[in-house]
Amino acid sequence: MNHYEVLGLNRKARAAEIKRAYKRLARQHHPDLNPGDRKAEERFKAIAAAHDILGDPQKKKAYDRELDGGPAPGYGGAGYGPAAGSPSGWRFESAFDPENAGDFSAFVSEIFGGGAAPTEAPRAPRRGDDVTRTLTLGFFDAIRGITTTIAIDAETPCARCTGSGRVPAAQRRPCPDCAGTGRINRLPGPLRLTSVCRRCEGEGMLSWDGCGACAGTGVLTRREEIEVRIPAGVDDGSRVRIAGRGRAGRLGGPSGDLILITQVEPHPFFRRIGDNIHCAVPITVSEAALGSRIEVPTIDGRARIRIPPGTETGQKFRLRGKGAPSLRGTARGDQYVETRIVTPHPATDRQRRLLEELGSLENGEDLRRNLAG
């Protein structure tokens, strides 16, 4: 059976398909979840070896050439071990002179920083990861603030294994990954590269099994609705942190946080820029020419502003303190009102006569000559 058949794939499988197949099969046949099952252990080793080759583009290419009858680089051999991982616990051993292996290891350690070869770090409490998601809000909900309910996939540490993913085994057994040696060979050939076995942490024996309650993950997940308060003044891209609602911690570590990134829906009349609110209002020719007091909408209701005589299209007027509340303090932004003069369309004879009379008093040619300099 070749590596593709081990993972249940064909040779056209993409990297993502290979990764998914490996995760699914490795979890199904992991020795921790099948204690004492030699067939599951052998199957798990075959799955790991297949992923080591097919999960690496260069090794996969060489393996495909080997399947096609090309030169065999050794990547397809059954004895090819798992891919090299973290450098924790690396040790070089010379197959030519086993008695000098320790001296050679010391020499390499001295070259790369001195001291003995590092060992596996102790299993310590670890904080859970933060979770980020988008929350869509209406325009006024973002400005005024809102308390709402959202559904999340809540994680809690598994009570049976206290978040470790492990439970005490009935009896100690040799580690299947390192065959009880406590070390893993990473490279075949005359110069071998070994590391501390991560599964048994160098002991060579296992005194624990995978937790069946959480399938060895250390966490339990359930759908839950929580109430969140969005403060007044959030804008597009604001981040609201909900403490302790992210991924569950491991080994007694605290949970991560839930970070909500707000996405605010646009408003048909108001436009927000920072903490300021912008809008455009129509005014008549007579209001622009003679001046007037007009009523305009604001986010708090309606307000009156004074339009001075001679106002033109595009002129802006500021209403202080009528903008959005600031997340950085108690101050508020301003509202800017831009005027748009509406060209009249005479609907009656009297309106037409008045416009004609106004036109006779105005001199458009003089205005255009002035604009041209």
- pLDDT tens across 113-146, in order? 443 333 334 468 888 899 999 999 999 999 999 9
Residue 5 tokens read as 């058949």
Residue predicted with more confidence, 250 or 273: 273
Confidence (pLDDT) at 113: 41
Residue predicted with more confidence, 122 or 70: 70
Query: 141: closest CA among 248, 262, 256?
Result: 262
Name the pLDDT band for 50 (thresholds 50, 70, 90): confident
Planar angle of CA 128, 134, 140, nearest 5 degrees: 130
Residue 289's H or E segment, with its range, is helix 285-290
Q: What is the pLDDT of residues 195-247, one digit of tens each?
A: 788 888 888 888 888 888 888 888 889 999 999 999 999 999 999 999 999 99
Sheet of 183-185: strand order equals: 91-94, 191-196, 183-185
Confidence (pLDDT) at 157: 86
For the segment 308-315, the average pLDDT, to the nearest whole number, is 94
> In this structure, what is the dihedral angle of CA atoms 172, 178, 179, 183, given to the nearest 10 degrees?
-100
| Cα distance between residue 96 and residue 197, in whole Å | 23
Name the pLDDT band for 274 (thresholds 50, 70, 90): very high
Name the pLDDT band for 162 (thresholds 50, 70, 90): confident
For the segment 23-35, the average pLDDT, to the nearest whole number, is 78
For the segment 271-295, the average pLDDT, to the nearest whole number, is 94
Residue 97 pLDDT greater than 60, yes or no? no
| Cα distance between residue 252 and residue 158, in whole Å | 10
Query: 157: closest CA among 222, 101, 206?
Result: 222
Residue predicted with more confidence, 273 or 357: 273
Query: 17: closest CA among 25, 27, 9?
Result: 9
Neighbours of 230 (CB within 10 A): 19
Query: Do 31 and 37 form a contact (C-beta atoms < 8 A)?
Result: yes
Query: Do 76 and 2 form a contact (C-beta atoms < 8 A)?
Result: yes
Neighbours of 68 (CB within 10 A): 8
Residue 300's H or E segment, with its range, is none
Give Cα separations from 299 to 304, 319, 323, 324, 331 (angstroms): 13, 11, 7, 8, 15
State the amino acid at position 229 in one-letter form: R
| Cα distance between residue 324 and residue 142, in whole Å | 9
Of 105-119, 157-171, 292-306, where does mean pLDDT reach its minimum?
A: 105-119
Residue 87 pLDDT greater than 90, yes or no? no
Residue 327's H or E segment, with its range, is none
Domains of the chain: 1-83 (1.10.287.110), 84-118+168-210 (no CATH), 131-165+212-264 (2.60.260.20), 271-371 (2.60.260.20)
Neighbours of 320 (CB within 10 A): 9
Confidence (pLDDT) at 226: 94
Give Cα separations from 92 to 86, 95, 190, 191, 302 (angstroms): 15, 10, 11, 7, 79
Name the pLDDT band for 364 (thresholds 50, 70, 90): low
Confidence (pLDDT) at 49: 86
pTM score of the predicted model: 0.57
Confidence (pLDDT) at 369: 61
Residue predicted with more confidence, 6 or 368: 6
For the segment 40-52, the average pLDDT, to the nearest whole number, is 85
| Cα distance between residue 221 and residue 328, in whole Å | 36
Confidence (pLDDT) at 362: 66
